[in-house]
Amino acid sequence: MVNVGDTQKSLRGNHQEWRLCSTCGCGFWSTNGKFDICFSCFNSPGATYQDKRGARYIKLNPSDPYYAMTPRNFLCFGVGWTSVARYTMAQKLGRCLDESEYVRHINKNLSDNNPANLVLFKRTICPSNDNEPI
């Protein structure tokens, strides 16, 4: 029987820990302690993920008005994921952001997605350091 906190090495040599899903309560193996939710909940709309830098991502429901701004294949997550910063900025503006727009955190804290801490930039065609806030 597996208990919460038990560890093992995966076939690829990664450290795994047995955890309980914070959403549904089922048990699952979490690789390198990255995830607090099981695979089923991870693929459900409303699921969130925080990367090593502290940036948060959210899975949107296809019926969400901002779903159109999600990339077709976001990192390794799959369809329907976007950063919480982009989602918050889109809600603040009342429109989807296009691919040439990106969001920066004023205080450089990637987990602080308060609208007052976010600024929207537009990428220029020529790479330079003079991108201006919108």
Please state the rounded mean pLDDT for residues 16-38: 82
Looking up tokens 């979490």, which residue turns up? 30
Checking if the pLDDT of 129 tops 60, the result is no
What pLDDT does residue 35 have? 73
State how far the alpha carbon of 48 is from the alpha carbons of 9, 110, 126, in Å: 25, 14, 34
What pLDDT does residue 130 have? 54
- The upper half-sphere exposure of residue 86, i.e. CA atoms within 13 Å in the direction of its Cβ, equals 24
State how far the alpha carbon of 34 is from the alpha carbons of 5, 19, 42, 109, 129, in Å: 14, 11, 12, 19, 34
Query: Taking the domains of the chain in order of start, what are their residue ranges?
Result: 1-44
What pLDDT does residue 106 have? 95
What pLDDT does residue 94 have? 96
Checking if the pLDDT of 85 tops 80, the result is yes
Q: Which two tokens stand for residue 26?
A: 């089922």
What pLDDT does residue 48 have? 81
Q: What is the pLDDT of residues 36-83, one digit of tens each?
A: 778 888 778 888 877 778 888 888 888 999 998 887 655 556 678 889
Q: Give the pTM.
A: 0.71
Q: Do residues 46 and 52 lie in contact, with contact meaning Cβ atoms separated by under 8 Å?
A: no
Please state the rounded mean pLDDT for residues 101-125: 91
Q: Which residue has the higher pLDDT, 54 or 88?
A: 88
What confidence tier does 126 reach under pLDDT thresholds 50, 70, 90? low
Q: Do residues 106 and 98 lie in contact, with contact meaning Cβ atoms separated by under 8 Å?
A: no
What confidence tier does 92 reach under pLDDT thresholds 50, 70, 90? very high
